[in-house]
Structure 1
Amino acid sequence: MTGSNEYKLNQGPEDSISAVKFSPSTGQFLLVSSWDCTVRLYDVGGNSMRIKYSHLAPVLDCAFYDPTHAWSGGLDTQLKTHDLNTDQDTIVGTHDAPIRCVEYCPEVNVMVTGSWDRSVRLWDPRTPCNAGTFTQPEKVYTLSVAGERLIVGTAGRRVLVWDLRNMGYVQQRRESSLKYQTRAIRAFPNKQVNL
C-alpha cells in the first residue's frame, strides 16, 4: 500500500484477537492471543510468526514472564506457561471458570490471573505453582499492575486496589463513574493509582 501507515503481520490468527503484548526486553516480539484457541509469537521486524501454541478453547489473555516464557489463559480455565525456546508448554493450574486476565508483576515476581469465578490468583513463576487465591465481589473483567499494586475491575462496575505484598485486605474500593461495565483498566507508567 503506497503511502499508508498500515502494517500487517503474516500468518495472523483465524479469529478475533483478544490480547496483544510486546516483549518486555526489546519490543521486537509480539505475543497475540486469539479466539481461534491459539497464542502466537511474532518477530515484528522480520514480519514472521515464530511460534504458535494452542489451548482447548478460545484464549482471552496472554503475558510475557520474561523474554523466553509466555503465560496464557482463557475459556478452557487452564493457565499455561510456554517456553518460547523449546516450544514446550505446561499447565500451571486452573480456575473454576474462564480466565479473563493474565499479567506479570516484576516488582513482586508474581503472575496474576483474574477469572469469571470471582477470584484473583497469584502464581509463582519460578516453580510454577499457585501462591494464593483471593475472592473478589464479582466476576473479574480486567486487571492491571502498578508497582506492587493490583487494580481489579469486576462486574457491577466495581474497582478494587490491592497491595500484592499483603493481599489480606483491599486498599481501596470504588464504583466506577462510567455508565457501562469496565472492560479495561491500565495503570499510569509512573505506577500511581488514582481512583
Structure 2
Amino acid sequence: MRRRTHVNNRSESHCSDNGTGSQAIPYCTVSAAAKVVKPGQTVLIDAQTTYTEPLTIDRSGEPITFAVAREGVGEHNAPSPAYLKRSLTISGASHVVVRGLSADEGLYVDNSHDVTLDRVYGYHTADDTASLVVRKESTDVRAGRSYFAAVRVEGGAQRTVLSRNSIHGFRIPPVSVVNAPGTVITNNTLKSSCGAGISVGGSSTGSALFNNLL
C-alpha cells in the first residue's frame, strides 16, 4: 500500500479526482483524497493552494494524517498552509492528525476520538461564533501551535487539550467550555475585545487552566 496520497490543484499538476492520488497525477480536491484514504496513510496537500469545497474527514486511521507538503514561509515566519475556503469537519473518526491547513468557515470535531490539530488556522463567518468547536462527546482532542478566532468545547466532549495556541475572541470569550469534563487550557496567548478571556461552565469537572497569557 502506498503510504502517501497527494493533492495539488495547480494548473501544472495534471491533477485528477478520478486517479489514485500519485505524485505524478495528484487529486484535485482534498475531499477526493478523504474519501479513499486508508489507516496509516498520509494525505499531502501542496502548500499555498486553495480548495473551495467543504471538507469532511470521517475515516479512522492509525493514524490518518492530512498535512501540508512543500511548506513555504507565510505570515510571522510560520509555515504556509493550504487553504480551505469552506469548513473542515472531523466526524465519527478516530486517530486523525491535521497539520498545516487553514479553514475560512471554521473547524468542527464531532463524535471523534484521538484527534490532533497542529499548526492549523481557524477563522469564522461571524464575530459571535467560534472557529474551532469540539462537541458531541468527542474525546482526547488536542489542538496546538495554531491560530483560532475563538474556541468552544461543549456537548460532553472530554479531555480536550488546548496548548500553545493564539486565540482571539471578538464578541465572545476566546475560549468557552460548557459541559466538557477534563478540558486542559495551557500556555495559550488569548486576546479578547470584551469580557472574560476564558469561560468554564456547566459540568466541566476536572478541567485545568494554567500558564495562559491574557
Greater per-residue helix proportion: 2
Instruction: Give the TM-score of the pair, scaled to structure 2.
Output: 0.30
Structure with more strand by fraction: 1
